[in-house]
Structure 1
Amino acid sequence: MIQSETLELLEWPRLCQHLSTFAATKLGSIVARNLPIPETQAESEQLLAQTKEVYELESRLHPGLSFEGIQDIGDSLERAVLQSILPGEELLAIATTLAGARNLRRVIDNQENIPVLNDLVSELRTYPELEQEIHRCIDERGQVTDRASQKMAEIRGELRKVRSQITQKLQNIIQAKSGAVQEQLITQRGDRFVIPVKAPQKDAIPGIVHDTSTSGATLYIEPNSVVPLGNQLRQIIRKEQTEAEAIRRILTEKVAEVTPDLERLLAIVTTLDLAVAKSRYSFWIGANPPRFVNPQANEIITLRNLRHPLLVWQQQHEQGNAVVPVDLLISPQIRVVTITGPNTGGKTVTLKTLGLAAVMAKVGLFIPAREPVEMPWFRQILADIGDEQSLQQSLSTFSGHIRRISRILEALEPEKNDFSPLAINYQSLVLLDEVGAGTDPAEGSALAIALLKYLANHTQLTMAST
């Protein structure tokens, strides 16, 4: 709970929203807005490797990787497995997605020195024969084509013949009874062909009235001589619908047979889209790839010219003020860093910037800082930033801080029977804003000192402002 609360305090959802605008697909955008946080350093390293390779790949390609044609076909695949009959538009979306994925794989396979991406797309199965069959049977409007089957071709031929006969008969009637016709045109009401007749002269053209104009001056009549052909046309249309449904059922069954591979394709393409979004976002904010250092090997945390990513966005996208960068150089022996200074001096922003940088590195994003960017991989990032004062819950500012700090300490406790070094949470980053504030200064100072001493022995790094 405290970790999700920390993400809210750091305004992580806002950063994810910004990231989602760089996604090319609907699924990529959804995943970017709800970005999962890796639980292991290996996962983070893999995500960073993907971002780095895409970053390098897009520097060679113009205009970059294209996701044209790729759509969210997840719901269609689920219904195909449940033996529903997919409409033509959804079958067409599956075909264009297969083509888009194949183009992506072709581009990546033709590039050198991108082993992580090559390995990712190697699992793609794009079924060109299924794509071709869908395009043979479904046109660009999502309608079943004449060539989909011999029977469909025959039915469509009958349709054209009967429609032509109806049109010819109606044209003859319009010419013969031109004085009774409101307009010399043939139109439709439902699936019936009609002509507009002046209401006072309806007896001149006997037939079935299918509609009336708003004013009542025009009646839309299907002449009696055309009614048998209209009935015949209706029967042929039903045959056409039955055959179209049969063709779409066969195509849907073929999709259902390969659904596991298509779901995997969708996951791979979304992973690629997410990596591209991370790369483009990182480029846009002027970020550099981080390297995870090992404090046990006496490696220093190096974050020079570190800028808050949300302030960078505000500056570039919303014409905000210039971002003031900070330098953080922390030796591995230091477990607690305290920041002091006047109000509005940037202490809270510094805490949030460090917290966001740690989360960004975990999910495979670059950090808006000057190279080299070096920091540990933090298993947990926990924060008490801002005021949890609540009149509804009878919480003062001080009580709010204490409640949040207690949740942080609970998160740092090792699980029962777990005596590994990681159990003491040496891989945790804790950020405390105005620690000990909101109560008597003497008592607050004593509490802050005791808390920071405890955290020095139970976290990788604690940063606190006073």
Structure 2
Amino acid sequence: MVEFPSMDDKSLHTLEYHKVLEKLAAYADFSVSADLASALRPTDKLEEALERQTRTTEARRLLSIRSETSIGGATDIRPQIEIAARSGVLTGEDLLNIKATLIAARELSRALERQAETYPRLSAITTRMPPPPGLIETISRTISDHGDVLDSASPKLASIRSEMNVAHERLLSRLERLINDPKNAPILQEQIITQRNGRYVIPLRADFKGRIRSIVHDQSSSGQTLFVEPLAVVELNNTWHELELAERDEERRILAELTDQVGRFAGTLIGIVDALAEMDFCLACAKYAEDLKAAEPVLVPTRKMRDGSHPGTTLKLYYARHPLLDPASVVPIDLVLDESTYALVITGPNTGGKTVTLKTVGLLALMAQSGLHIPVQSGSELSVFENIYADIGDEQSIEQSLSTFSGHITNIVRILKKADRRSLVLLDELGAGTDPQEGSALARAIMAHLVEQRVTNLVATHYPELKAFAHSTPGVVNASMEFDLKTLRPTYHLIIGLPGRSNALAICERLHVPDEIITAARNMLNPSDLKAEDLLDEIHRQRDIARRLRSDADRQRTDAEKLRLQWLEKMEKVEDERQALLEKARHDAETEVFELRGELDEVRRELSRARQPLEALKPLQQQVSALEEAAQAPVVRRQPEKAAGAPAPRPLRVGDKVKLRSLHLDGVVTALGESEVEVQIGNLRVRSRLTDIQRPNEDEQTPATQAAGSASSSPADRDSAAARPQIFAPSPGMELDLRGQRAEDALDALDRYIDNAYLSGLPFVRIIHGKGTGKLRQVIRDALRHSPHVDRWQSGQENEGGDGVTVAHLVKD
């Protein structure tokens, strides 16, 4: 991992960055990757931050397609590798862990090797994973799945174990004859064979000591049983025990040899562990992002400002949520600073969300620069800050005193010395904890210093003087946390552009403070302040009205669209019934025509036999042929008619994609004539009649249908149609689902779909791309923005899929 200058540690702790790392580490399947997560620090380099973000994006895409992807049975084998490097001897279980880790690395490497183009950065990690040649196979031939050394590990071990089996069988056979001998039954405590001190013995009753010549190895706790080794089996026991020691020595020699082989590859194996940890860390970032419903932020370079009036930083967070708060209850905020703004003064009530807003911005910036996706809407933009400083204290949980004030000022002084144009400064309750007049003056002076030094900063305060400062100072803007006077509760919504209102007297009224006290308090206020507060009240009231009206309009649009879709569905059902009836009628007509032709043939034969003239049958034959042709005409499905006043579909144009019916090939129109068209098909240009042209997905007309169309129109209409052909495509449907597709494939499908939707006259369509990382959504919206057939686009409503759906309104010709 590349090392960069560390962020301000005190600010990291203040913004609770360590809690984010704790949550991230919980997603790691590997102790080494959990350590990487705990040690993660933001980078101040744009290139490195973009690289980290891309890795997380690739990991999310990989998990969305192959959710089972993991590091498998890998474990932290670094302690075992260290033992091997120091010429120690590993156990069978240690070698099994090494084998399992190497197999996991090999499988992961092979899986991503085939998809290097799709996941280039993850594949680059797996290039360090291939295990040393032959090591996995050697361990498999030597160690069993239970951690025992296999007979096949060496010929000597196989020979020793074979001799051990023979010696063991002889020993047990001799002991069984002793205990099963009827003479010995009375003197034995039980007819069993057991072990003491690694030797096979039998239980002899203490009363009969000496009846069997033997060596005593142990006795029972009661002293009534002696565990003895009969002298008749001593040699057999010795032989078996010697072979057991030889087996142990040979196993140790084999393990030492295998450990030495592991030690020779110590550096490679450590590299494999590091690569596995890095891969699992990327997967942990992806899993954390999925659970946060996060999106990849757009990290942008610092803009170069010619006049130096702005630090060139970007801060645009849409639908931002604090990552440590409950997703079910957290209120999202939109914090967007325009290109001329780099300082924000947030006012509002206590517990109204000012502190959470500051922490949200700071923490999301830290996460973005760490390579983590952040809980925002796709398209959110951030600069990469060289450092982020925060002085945030919970005013409700500490007693305001000189020591507290001194602590805050000491921290602010430290920040002011270090902050520059590439820093982000977050100050909560600036100037609080001292005399209000002095605190207000100090807060304005600190703000003025930050603005003068062109430091991007967000300040939360209660002082009304800072509202006027923000209003009159270029680069600074007011913001407020909304408060509901009806419920006396904050809504936690951030409103940029409007300062917060003073709600003290309004709250007192709601809490039934006597009117005379409220009136006296109002009379003590500056009239200009009252006028400003009344104006703010009116602005907020009008804003609430506009928001409600927009919500009602969106709801009505959704209801209208539902009704329209229901109407289309009913029309489709009616058309299905119409087609079914017409098909049945056509089939019946064909049957009757067939029977009529048979009867006509029979009449012809009768006339021939009677030598009568056949001219009288010609009119009947012509009528039967006409009926047969009419009966064979296919039933054409009708599209629902457009509403009155809808614009007519546009004629064929240069650049349109078409198909030549005669060649069954697709091409692009390069030139148009009165009756002919030139089409580019690959490297070949073909001239063809307009009647041979078909738009993509257009139902081909049969000759009978074309003839019917020609018969129903006047000669003038036919001439006009030949000169200005109107070629339309059937509706491709109101929705296109692109979830799970690669960007290149999705763009091809989107291009074809938009063309067909435009040609069929659809007013708007829905593109379903899912939320995911936000990359596919961004690519699709960029394509829609540059499409000549799309007028505008917007995110879907909550009941339509929210930001996982884009509604594109098509151009009307």
Normalising by the smaller structure, the TM-score range is 0.7 to 0.9
**Map of 1:97 onto structure 2:** 101
Q: Match of 1:81?
A: 85
Q: What is residue 27 of structure 1 aligned with on the other side?
A: 32
Alignment of 1:216-231 (within 5 A): 216-231=223-238
Question: 1:2: how far off?
Answer: 7.6
Sort the Cα spacing of 1:84 and 1:445 in 2 relative to 1 into closer, same or farther, 3 A: same
**Conserved in 2, the CA contact under 8 Å of 1:337 and 1:463?**
yes
1-structure distance, mates of 2:214, 2:442: 95
Q: String of CA shifts for 1:277-317, please: whole Å, max 9, x gaps.
A: 000110011101111123416675221111111114xx5xx
Within the candidate set 108, 112, 129, 1:108 is matched to 112
Distance (whole Å) between structure 1 residues aligned to residue 392 and residue 367 of structure 2: 18
Aligned partners of 2:457, 2:299: CA distance in 1, in Å? 18
Q: Which runs of 5+ in 2 are unaligned?
A: 1-5, 305-311, 462-813
**Is 1:141 the counterpart of 2:146 in the alignment?**
yes
Aligned residue among 101, 116, 135 for 1:130: 135
Change (3 A) 1:193 1:429: farther
Report the equivalent of 2:379: 372
Aligned identity (percent) is 39
Partner of residue 234, structure 1:
241
**Structure 1 residue 363 corresponds to structure 2 residue 370:** yes
| Structure 2 CA distance for aligned equivalents of residues 455 and 216 of structure 1 | 92
Alpha carbons 2:189, 2:203 under 8 Å: kept: yes
What secondary structure sits across from 1:226 in the alignment?
Answer: helix
How far apart, CA to CA, are the structure 2 residues paired with 1:428 and 1:136?
A: 59
Q: What's 2:457 paired with?
A: 462
Residues 186 and 193 of structure 1 are in contact (CA less than 8 Å); yes or no, is this contact kept in structure 2?
yes
Instruction: After the TM superposition, list the runs of 4 or more consecutive aligned residues in structure 1 that deviate by more than 6 angstroms.
Output: none
Residue 14 in structure 1 maps to residue 8 in structure 2: no
1:40 maps to 2:54: no
- What is the letter of the counterpart of residue 92 of structure 1? L
Q: Structure 1's 434 and 154: CA in aligned 2 closer, same or farther, altered over 3 A?
A: same
Counterpart in the other structure of 2:74: 70
Q: Give the Cα separation in 2 of the matches to 1:458 and 1:198.
A: 99
Query: How big is each residue's C-alpha offset from its partner over 1:151-196, in whole Å with a ceiling of 9 and x where there is no partner?
Result: 1111211222222222222222221233444444333334222334
Counterpart-to-counterpart distance in 2, 1:395 and 1:256 = 62
Alignment partner of 1:371: what SS?
Answer: coil
1:64 Cα offset (Å): 2.6
Q: Is the Cα contact below 8 Å between 1:199 and 1:219 reproduced in 2?
A: yes
Which residue number in structure 2 is paired with residue 447 of structure 1?
442
The aligned residue for residue 308 of structure 1 is 322
- The offset of 1:222, in angstroms, is 3.1
- 2:200 alignment partner, SS class: strand
Q: Is the 8 A contact 1:293 1:376 kept in 2?
A: yes
Confirm whether residue 382 of structure 1 aligns to residue 389 of structure 2: yes
How far the C-alpha of 1:366 sits from its partner, in A, is 0.6
Match for residue 173 of structure 2 among 168, 189, 213: 168
Deviation per residue, 1:322-356 (Å, 9 max, x gap): 11111111124323222221111111111111121
Contact 1:125 1:261 in 2 (8 A): no
Counterparts in 2 of 1:348 and 1:222: CA distance versus 1, 3 Å: farther
Q: What code does the residue aligned with 1:451 have?
A: I
- The whole-number CA distance in structure 1 between the counterparts of 2:411 and 2:42 is 21
Residues 257-296 of structure 1: CA deviation (Å, up to 9, x unaligned): 2222211111111111000000011001110111112341
TM-score, length-scaled by structure 1: 0.88
Which residues of 2 match residues 302-451 of structure 1 at below 5 A? 302-312=316-326, 315=327, 322-386=329-393, 396-412=403-419, 425-451=420-446
Distance 1:213 1:30 in 2: 53
8 Å Cα contact 1:301-1:332 kept in structure 2: no
SS at match of 1:431: strand
Q: 1:457 to 1:299 in 2, by over 3 A?
A: closer
Counterpart contact for 2:42–2:367, Cα < 8 Å: no
Amino acid at match of 1:465: A
Q: Which moves more between the two structures, 288-297 or 224-233? A: 224-233
- 1:282-293 equivalences in 2 (<5 Å): 282-293=289-300
C-alpha separation between the residues in 1 aligned to 2:92 and 2:226?
36
State how far apart, in whole Å, the 1-side matches of 2:211 and 2:345 are.
98
Q: Distance in 2 between matches of 1:15 and 1:183?
A: 66
CA contact (8 A) 1:88 1:144 kept: yes
Identify the match of residue 58 of structure 2 among 25, 50, 53: 53
Contact residue 208 and residue 224 of structure 1 kept, 8 A: yes
Which letter does structure 1 place at the counterpart of 2:322?
H
Displacement of 1:133 in angstroms is: 0.3
Q: Distance in 1 between matches of 2:46 and 2:206?
A: 81
Distance 2:221 2:20 in 1: 55
CA pair 231-405 structure 1, distance change in 2 beyond 3 A: farther
Residue identity matched to 2:96:
L
Going from structure 1 to structure 2, the CA distance change for 1:21 and 1:219 (only over 3 Å counts) comes to: farther
From 278, 281, 287, the counterpart of 2:285: 278
Distance 1:114 1:352 in 2: 34
1:264 aligns with 2:271: yes
Letter in 1 for 2:112: I
Which residue is 2:781 aligned to? none
Name the SS of the counterpart of 2:317 in structure 1: strand
Q: 1:194 to 1:454 in 2, by over 3 A?
A: farther
C-alpha distance 373-202 of structure 1, shift in aligned 2 (>3 A): farther
Q: Secondary structure at the match of 1:296?
A: coil
The higher relative CO (CA closer than 8 Å, separation ≥ 6) is in 1
- Greater Cα shift, 216-225 or 79-88: 216-225
Amino acid at match of 1:118: S
Alignment check: 8 A CA contact 1:305 1:326 kept? yes
Q: Contact 2:315 / 2:336 at 8 angstroms: preserved in 1?
A: yes
* Amino acid of the structure 2 residue aligned with 1:10: L
Any gaps of 5 or more consecutive residues in structure 1?
Answer: 316-320, 413-424
- Aligned equivalents of 1:275, 1:22: Cα separation in 2: 10
Secondary structure at the counterpart of residue 168 of structure 1: helix
Q: CA deviation at 1:460?
A: 4.6
Report how far residue 377 of structure 1 moved. Answer: 1.0
SS in 2 for 1:225: helix
When residues 440 and 395 of structure 1 are mapped into structure 2, their CA distance, relative to the original with a 3 A threshold, is closer
Cα distance in 2 between the residues matched to 1:231 and 1:254: 35
Change (3 A) 1:438 1:146: same
Find the aligned partners of 2:206 and 2:257 in 1 and give their Cα distance: 49
Residue 452 to residue 191, structure 1, CA distance change in 2 (3 Å): farther
What SS is found at the alignment partner of 2:459?
Answer: strand
Distance 2:267 2:50 in 1: 27
Please report the RMSD computed on the Cα atoms of aligned residues, expressed in angstroms: 2.6
Q: Secondary structure at the match of 1:194?
A: strand
How far does the alpha carbon of each residue in 1:357-403 deviate from its partner, in whole angstroms, 9 at most, with x for none? 11111121111111112111122122112269xx9xx9821122122
Bigger shift: residues 121-130 or 243-252:
121-130
